[in-house]
Amino acid sequence: MTTATTTGAKAHAREQELAAAAELPRVLHPASAYVGELSPGVSAGDLVWAETVPPGGYTSLVVAAGTRVRVRDTTGDACAHLLVFHADQPTERLNVADTVKVQWQAFLTAGHLLLSDQGRALATIVEDTAGNRADAPRHDALFGTSTLVRNAERYGSGDVFGPSPAGRELFALAAAKHGLTRRDIPPSVTFFEGVSVSDDGRPAFVGSSGPASITLVAELPLIVLLASTAHPLDPRPEFTAGPLDVVAWPGAPTVPGDPAWDATPEGRRAYENSTAHRRTRGADR
Amino acid sequence: MTTAPATAAPLAIVPPEVATDAVVIHDETVAARNPWTRVIAAGDTLTMVDVGGNQAVDFLVYDAHDTELRYSAPDTLQGQDTIYLTTGSVLRDAEHGPLMTVVADTCGRHDTLGGACSKESNTLRYGHHTRAQHACVENFLLGGSRHGLGKRDLVSNINWFMNVPVDPDGALGIVDGISAPGLAVSVRAERDVLVLISNCPQINNPCNGFDPTPVRVIVTRP
Ligand SMILES: [Zn+2]
Contact B94 A168 (CB under 8 A): yes
Query: B65 and chain A: CB distance < 8 Å anywhere?
Result: no
| B168 pLDDT more than 80 | yes
Query: B76 and chain A: CB distance < 8 Å anywhere?
Result: no
Rounded Cα–Cα distance for residues A60 and A228 (Å): 12
- Rg of chain A (C-alpha set): 20
Of B186, B183, B179, the residue nearest B47 (C-alpha): B186
3-state secondary structure of A266: helix
Rounded Cα–Cα distance for residues B67 and B44 (Å): 19
Residue numbers in A near B84 (CB within 8 A): 201
For residue A23, the model assigns a pLDDT of 78
Of A246, A180, A256, the residue nearest A215 (C-alpha): A246
pLDDT level of residue B1 (50, 70, 90 thresholds)? very low
In one-letter notation, the amino acid at residue A102 is V
Residue among B82, B150, B156 whose CB faces A97 most closely: B156
Kindly report, residue by residue over B40-94, the tens digit of the pLDDT.
999 999 999 999 999 999 999 999 999 999 999 999 999 999 999 999 999 999 9
Residue among B109, B152, B168 whose CB faces A198 most closely: B168
For residue B2, the model assigns a pLDDT of 45
Angle, CA A229 vertex, CA A35 and CA A130 arms, to 5°: 60
Kindly report, residue by residue over A186-202, the tens digit of the pLDDT.
999 999 999 999 999 99
Contact B171 A105 (CB under 8 A): yes
Rounded to two decimals, the pTM is 0.95
Contact A101 B113 (CB under 8 A): yes
Distance A144 CA to ligand 1 centre (A): 22
Rounded Cα–Cα distance for residues B50 and B39 (Å): 21
Interface probe with B: pick from A109, A117, A120, A133, most Cβ of B within 10 Å: A117
Q: What are the residue boundaries of the structural domains of chain B, listed by start?
A: 17-221
Contact A201 B83 (CB under 8 A): yes
Give me the interface pTM, i.e. the ipTM: 0.95
The fraction of chain A above a pLDDT of 90, given in percent, is 92
| B10 pLDDT more than 50 | no
On whether the CB atoms of residues B113 and A106 are closer than 8 A, the answer is yes
Kindly report, residue by residue over A126-181, the tens digit of the pLDDT.
999 997 676 789 999 999 999 999 999 999 999 999 999 999 999 999 999 999 99
For residue B13, the model assigns a pLDDT of 67
